[in-house]
């Protein structure tokens, strides 16, 4: 079952930041949002030879791997469109590798999406989609 929650959060950079800076901004906003919702951040930007996990968190006993997609306005498609079935499979494989690397074996694993849209003016819009997988 997929559950979606939305909220407006702090205003971000007003000028058009570089793509990497925009992504880092979105990850900061997403981490702040999720921890404010009671999750515990375990790791940010975990990398291995096969790829990267944006955020790894605990939601109680559930290990949550969160993909963060950030857009400046509505150009370039919605953040949701960037998460393909192939991307979800890769995230699941990376989550398994993260658990092995950290000696963790979570009984429950969830893949979430946090979509951050930063309009030209005003506060960023945050949408949290739980349970993509």
Domains, the chain: 3-130 (3.40.1350.10)
The 3-state secondary structure of 78-117 reads CHHHHCCHHHHHHHHHHHHHHHHHHCCCCCEEEEEEEEEE
More reliable by pLDDT, 62 or 14: 62
pLDDT score of 115: 92
Q: What is the mean pLDDT of the chain?
A: 84
pLDDT score of 81: 77
| The pLDDT of residue 15 is above 50 | no
| The pLDDT of residue 16 is above 80 | no
pLDDT score of 14: 39
Phi-psi region of 67 (alpha: psi -120 to 50; beta: other; left: phi over 0): beta
pTM of the model: 0.81
Across the range 122-129, mean pLDDT stands at: 89
More reliable by pLDDT, 117 or 106: 106
């Amino acid at each position: 079952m997929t559950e979606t929650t939305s909220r407006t959060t702090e205003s971000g950079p007003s000028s058009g930041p570089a793509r990497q800076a925009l992504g880092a901004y979105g990850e900061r906003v997403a981490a702040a949002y999720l921890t404010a919702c009671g999750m515990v951040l375990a790791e940010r930007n975990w990398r291995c030879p096969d790829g990267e996990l944006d955020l790894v968190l605990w939601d109680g006993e559930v290990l949550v791997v969160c993909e963060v997609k950030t857009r400046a306005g509505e150009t370039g498609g919605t953040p949701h469109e960037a998460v393909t079935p192939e991307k979800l499979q890769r995230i699941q494989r990376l989550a398994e590798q993260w658990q092995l690397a950290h000696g963790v074996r979570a009984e429950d694993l969830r893949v979430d999406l946090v979509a951050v849209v930063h309009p030209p003016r005003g506060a960023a819009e945050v949408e949290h989609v739980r349970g993509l997988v």
